[in-house]
Structure 1
Amino acid sequence: MPGAGSGAPGSPDGLDRLWTPHRMAYIKGGSPAQGCPFDRAPHLPDEESLVVARGKVVYAVLNLYPYNLGHLLICPYRHVADYTDLTDEETVEVASFTQEAMRTVRRVSGAHGFNIGLNQGSVAGAGIAAHLHQHVVPRFGGDANFMPIVGQTKVLPQLLTDTRVLLAEAWGDS
């Protein structure tokens, strides 16, 4: 086939594509038509928004596009983009919620480790750069199996709504 593998536009490269045009608003630094999802979530019922726990100035919510089962986001209620702009109270509660998220996920799922981090700004990979959120991603021995590597597919063994119930019920039991 002419041009195959040549790097020419449209030439086959052996990779499957998942088209997600709804994410273009995030990439361009805008927000989706419904506004900032992290501003909207705290005003919805927990079951609908997937909020797991609420604090005084931050809340924990399941990621709609999880890397692994139990992938939580710790978000300030206040719409703030930069970590250096958090108040002292917000900084402390982000840290304590991160610790509680780890304890809770370990109790519920037996996670072996965690990736924790902030993608500060769109160039650093933040999908929603306008509203700071810290990722708490549970890791399990063997979670980088053949499916994502060979099959280009992530397998999650539980519905997000079921995960939310388990985590919400266990939150604060430490």
Structure 2
Amino acid sequence: MDRIFAPWRIEWVERDPAEDDVDGCPFCVLPERDADRESRIVARSDHAFVILNNYPYNPGHVMVIPRRHTGEWAALSDAELLDHARLKVATIDALHDGLGPDGINAGENLGGDAAGGSIEDHVHTHLVPRWRGDTNFMPVIGDTGVIVEALEDTYDRLHAAFAGHPDAVGEAGDGDEPPDRAVRLAFGATDGSGDAL
């Protein structure tokens, strides 16, 4: 029997299942809760948010998610698409600043169940930090992944990186402990070419 120590999973085991299902979409429920840290939402913008994946492939595995519930990218407005793209760029910056990966995989599961996505009716983008040598015999021979950092520690590191981003607004927290609220990012308006007005 394979055993991997994963103490953060107790939160999933002890969760209130009633909170999991409002119209069947956790990506709609979690940002409405007043518990960003508990929900693992590390950053927010006008139309999207960044959340840590509860079952990461690597430390820092996050998802950038539009606020509007839709399974089709084409259903999003230009403003929503631009905001999502800008938040993706800010997230890549935060991953580099907070975790220092050698690279990042970006991906989307399009096409529902056949694409392998567990949440197919709310579009989102996965960003997975990668390091040289971050894979070993465990996933290949043992069919077991090993996560080397607790989600709370990853949250703290990414929160600090987002708080230092040029588009971060409001209080980023004080003292040694990170705040329980996600970092708010506000991207300026553009003239349509991508240049700020």
Please tell me whether Structure 1 or Structure 2 has the larger radius of gyration of its CA atoms. 1
Question: Relative to structure 1, is the Cα distance of residues 87 and 172 closer, same or farther in structure 2, using a 3 angstrom cutoff?
Answer: farther
Aligned match of 1:9: none
Asked if 1:153 is matched to 2:144, the reply is: yes
Q: Which amino acid letter does the alignment assign opposite residue 108 of structure 2?
A: L
User: What is the DSSP-based 3-state SS (H/G/I as helix, E as strand, rest coil) of the residue aligned with 2:91?
Assistant: helix
Q: Please, which of 88, 104, 113 is the counterpart of residue 98 of structure 1?
A: 88
Segments of 5+ residues of structure 2 without an aligned counterpart are 3-19, 166-197
Instruction: Give the 3-state SS of the residue equivalent to 1:171 in structure 2.
Output: helix
> Structure 1 residue 151: deviation in Å?
2.0
- Specify the alignment match of 1:49 in structure 2: 39
Q: Specify the code of the residue in structure 2 equivalent to 1:43.
A: E
Report 1:48-67 matches (<5 A).
Answer: 48-67=38-57
TM-score (norm 1): 0.77
Alpha-carbon deviations, 1:114-166, whole Å to 9, x = none? 11121112211221001111101111101121111122221111111221121
Give the deviation of 1:105 after TM superposition.
Answer: 0.9
Distance in 2 of aligned mates of 1:145 and 1:116: 21
In structure 1, C-alpha distance between the alignment counterparts of 2:92 and 2:136, rounded to whole Å? 23
SS in 2 for 1:166: helix
| Residue 164 (structure 1) aligns with | 155
Say which SS state the counterpart of residue 117 (structure 2) adopts.
coil
Cα deviation for residue 170 of structure 1 reads 1.2
Correspondence list, 1:1-174, <5 A: 33=21, 35-44=24-33, 45-120=35-110, 121-174=112-165
Q: For residues 96 and 128 of structure 1, what CA distance do their matches in structure 2 show?
A: 23
Asked whether the equivalents of residues 100 and 172 of structure 1 are also in contact (C-alpha less than 8 Å), the reply is: no
List alignment gaps of at least 5 residues for structure 1. 1-15, 17-31
Instruction: Report how far residue 33 of structure 1 moved.
Output: 4.2
Runs of 4+ aligned structure 1 residues displaced above 6 Å come to: none
Measure how far apart 1:63 and its partner are: 0.7
Q: Tell me the distance in 2 between the aligned counterparts of 1:33 and 1:117.
A: 25
Q: CA RMSD in A?
A: 1.8
Amino acid corresponding to residue 161 of structure 1 in structure 2: E
* Aligned equivalent of 1:12: none
Q: Secondary structure at the match of 2:70?
A: coil
